[in-house]
Structure 1
Amino acid sequence: MKRTVTNGQYGKAKKNRLMLPAIVVILGLLVMMYPVVSTAWNNYGASKAAKEYAQLDKDTPQEVKNTQWDKAHEYNEQRASGPILDPWLNDIDSDNPEYAEYLDQLSENDAMARFIFPKIGVDLPIYHGTSDDVLQRGLGHLYGSDLPVGGRGTHSVITGHTGLSNATMFDNLSKAEEGDAFYVQVSGHKLKYEIDQIKVVLPDQTEDLRPDESGDYITLITCTPYGVNTHRLLVRGHQVPLEPVDEGVFDQNHSGGWQWWMYALMAAVLVIGLGFAWWARRQHKLSKATASANNKSKGLSSDAEKQSDDNN
């Protein structure tokens, strides 16, 4: 007696054979989605930290903010003028007394300030130093440069990563143009800077980071070209008066949101997912049709054999 394979049995066997490809595809899609999810999450966390700084700065007593502000200006005036070193090639001895004094400046909150660059969608906290931990969470103030409180003869340097796989940070700094404005909120004060110089230099070319007796500058620095990092992009701005219209900048969220590559990657995930779903459905239909045809063929063969036996 011949055994007949039912549609259910054939479909179950085919389903088992589809399980491994399905697992592989799902794992692959999850790997593809990880940079998007991690970047969105870390961008949210950094933007949230900037907002928290703004709220804490607002809630801090004015007397405390004034003390920190005056202390920061005094620090800038009295600090020893030393060489400005590339933040990615030179480590700072965090145990020396000078660095401990530095960490005591603008220390009423975890971050020392808030940085806003509306055009490129940056709203991030500024932390002390440029350690890897700092630059994973936001922007870093380069130790050895002036604190970002403004004033004649000061030059503050703010650093940020480009090309991180899990955060945006300064990825869009290359879109900055002369005349663009960025802002700093620090110890109850709001400062506006207008970009007047953009340069690409080698890591050891730090002359443009030095103070100018007649200037009041902040320079933004990041690695370039994207993913290569052999050079440094320097975007310098000088302080200009804050207009009444600028006040609203500090009340808005300037986080850039998703980047183009995030949309592209999620579109690829969607296409691959839909493509696999179509293929799996097609395989399921083919398996059912094959099972039905096999059973029909076996049924006809069985009827023929039965008729032959009856004739005999």
Structure 2
Amino acid sequence: MKHRLITIVGWLFLVTSVGLLLYPEIISFIKQKQSDQIAQELEKNTGRRKNDDSLYQKALRYNEKIREDGQKDLKDVWSYQAPPIVLRKEQDTFGYIKIPKMKQKLPLYLGATMENMRKGATIMGQTSLPLGKRDSNCVIAAHRGYQGIPYFRDIEELKIGDLVIIRNPWERLRYKVTKIKVIDPYDTDKILIQKGKDMITLLTCHPYRGHGKYRYLVYCERNHGQKIKKQERTQQSDSSRKTIEEEKWIRYAGIFLLILTGGVWLRKREQGR
């Protein structure tokens, strides 16, 4: 009986340990399922006419206002946690963002508050809402990984020409990456609306393990029937790809060694009975 109890405890310890090492993948899977649920809810409303929708009109007025006043209230690239508009009571998000190259689909929350940043991607206040209109730039911020959840961790995988999809409450919008840049945290002029362009800008900390010293920007534009000029990637010296890959392989090596050690130990326990 004692040997059996020790064996059971050993198995429980092994499974728990492996589970903890796989925590990032498990949480990421759960987050993807949540985003899929949001997507399913949005698809139910595909018949809603946006021009007759009060929420759409509110979003349009907000975009026009910040464009006309030159986004004067945007103080720095992480500021303005206040949501751009107030959603309906039954809505928690403004849709989702899908980045195929990064294998990420994240809900879009309004306002870059700490709570929203923990849950997914956020649309920064005093930047445009993604409505597929010219003279707009929706700045979407997310952590460079949070408690094991990737979020925008692998943003350096994006290259010029890659696809980024926005699903707002009314339609799906397709954008292409046109420029990548690293800036200082207070370079607010780098995230402003650019005349005549329909843009989204992805924003996160850089480098990955650098305590947010810089901000990594990925500019994306939507084609309105005209050719979009692709721009060169800004040169940068502090790439995080090696650090991220090392972190992944260390975790996988830990899982392998833990399973191997646990398996050997449990086998010896069985043989020693």
Aligned-pair CA distance for 1:41: 3.4
Pick from 139, 144, 147: which aligns with 1:165? Answer: 147
Q: 2 CA distance for matches of 1:192 and 1:172?
A: 20
Q: Which residue of 1 aligns with 2:44?
A: 59
1:40 aligns with 2:25: yes
Q: Which amino acid aligns with 1:120?
A: M
Residue 257 of structure 2: which of 250, 271, 282 is its match?
271
Correspondence 1:82 to 2:72:
yes
Q: Distance in 2 between matches of 1:47 and 1:206?
A: 31
| Greater alpha carbon shift after TM alignment, 61-70 vs 128-137 | 61-70
1:204 aligned residue: 186
From the CA coordinates, give the structure whose radius of gyration is larger.
1
What's 1:50 paired with?
A: 35
Structure 1 stretches of 5 or more lacking a match? 1-11, 243-258, 289-312
- Secondary structure of residue in 1 paired with 2:26: helix
* TM-score under structure 1 length normalisation: 0.67
Give the distance between the partners of 1:32 and 1:129, measured in 2 at CA: 36
In the TM superposition, what is the alpha-carbon distance from 1:230 to its structure 2 partner? 1.3
Instruction: Specify whether residues 193 and 40 from structure 1 end up closer, same or farther in structure 2 by C-alpha distance, changes over 3 A only.
Output: same
C-alpha root-mean-square deviation of aligned residues, in Å? Answer: 3.3
Aligned to 2:205, the other structure's residue is in SS state strand
Matched, 1:182 2:193: no
**In structure 2, what is the Cα distance between the partners aligned to 1:198 and 1:127?**
23
Check whether the contact 2:141–2:202 (CA below 8 A) recurs between aligned residues: yes
TM, length-normalised to structure 2: 0.76
- In the alignment, residue 119 of structure 1 is paired with which amino acid? K
Matched, 1:136 2:126: no
Identical aligned residues as a percent: 22
Q: 1:235 aligns with which of 211, 214, 218?
A: 218
Deviates more, 1:23-32 or 1:53-62: 23-32
Structure 1 residues 146-192: Cα deviation after superposition (integer angstroms, max 9, x where no partner): 11113121111001111323211111111111111111111221211
Using the alignment, how far apart are the partners of 1:41 and 1:133 within structure 2?
21
Greater CA deviation, 178-187 or 55-64? 55-64
Give per-residue Cα distances to partners, 1:203-259, cap 9 Å, x unaligned: 1122210111222211000111112121111000111259xxxxxxxxxxxxxxxx9
> 1:1-312 counterparts in 2 under 5 A?
27=13, 30-31=16-17, 33-37=19-23, 39-60=24-45, 62-63=48-49, 66-67=52-53, 68-79=55-66, 80=69, 81-86=71-76, 88=78, 90=79, 92=81, 94=82, 99=83, 102-105=84-87, 109-228=91-210, 229-240=212-223, 265-279=251-265, 281=267
The alpha-carbon distance between structure 1 residues 281 and 49, as it changes in their structure 2 partners (threshold 3 A), is closer
Given that 2:139 and 2:202 are in contact with CA atoms closer than 8 Å, whether structure 1 keeps it comes out as: yes
Q: Which runs of 5+ in 2 are unaligned?
A: 226-243
Range 152-161 or range 69-78, more displaced: 69-78
Higher helix share: 1
Aligned length: 247
Q: CA–CA distance in 1 between the matches of 2:178 and 2:32?
A: 26
Deviation of residue 269 (structure 1)?
2.3
CA pair 108-189 structure 1, distance change in 2 beyond 3 A: farther
Q: Which amino acid aligns with 1:74?
A: R
Structure 2 CA distance for partners of 1:230 and 1:28, relative to 1, 3 Å? farther
Q: Distance in 2 between matches of 1:271 and 1:204?
A: 45
Contact preservation (8 Å) 1:222, 1:232: yes
Q: Secondary structure at the match of 1:169?
A: coil
